[in-house]
Amino acid sequence: RRRASSSCTSVIIHKAKVEAMTLDLALLRSVQHFAQAFKAKNVSLHVLVCNAAVFGLPWTLTKDGLETTFQVNHLGHFYLVQLLQDVLCRSAPARVVVVSSESHRFTDINDSSGKLDFSRLSPSKSDYWAMLAYNRSKLCNILFSNEPREKMCVFAIVLIRLMEMVCLHLM
CA–CA dist 59, 163 (Å, integer): 25
CA–CA dist 77, 26 (Å, integer): 10
CA–CA dist 70, 157 (Å, integer): 24
Concerning whether 79 is annotated as a catalytic residue, the answer is no
CA–CA dist 103, 45 (Å, integer): 30
Contacts of 24 (CB under 8 A, 6+ apart): 30, 31
CA–CA dist 89, 91 (Å, integer): 5
Helix H or strand E encompassing 100: strand 94-100
Whether residue 93 has a cis bond before it, omega within 30° of 0? yes
The residue annotated as part of the active site, out of 134, 138, 139, 144, is 134
Catalytic residue annotation: 134
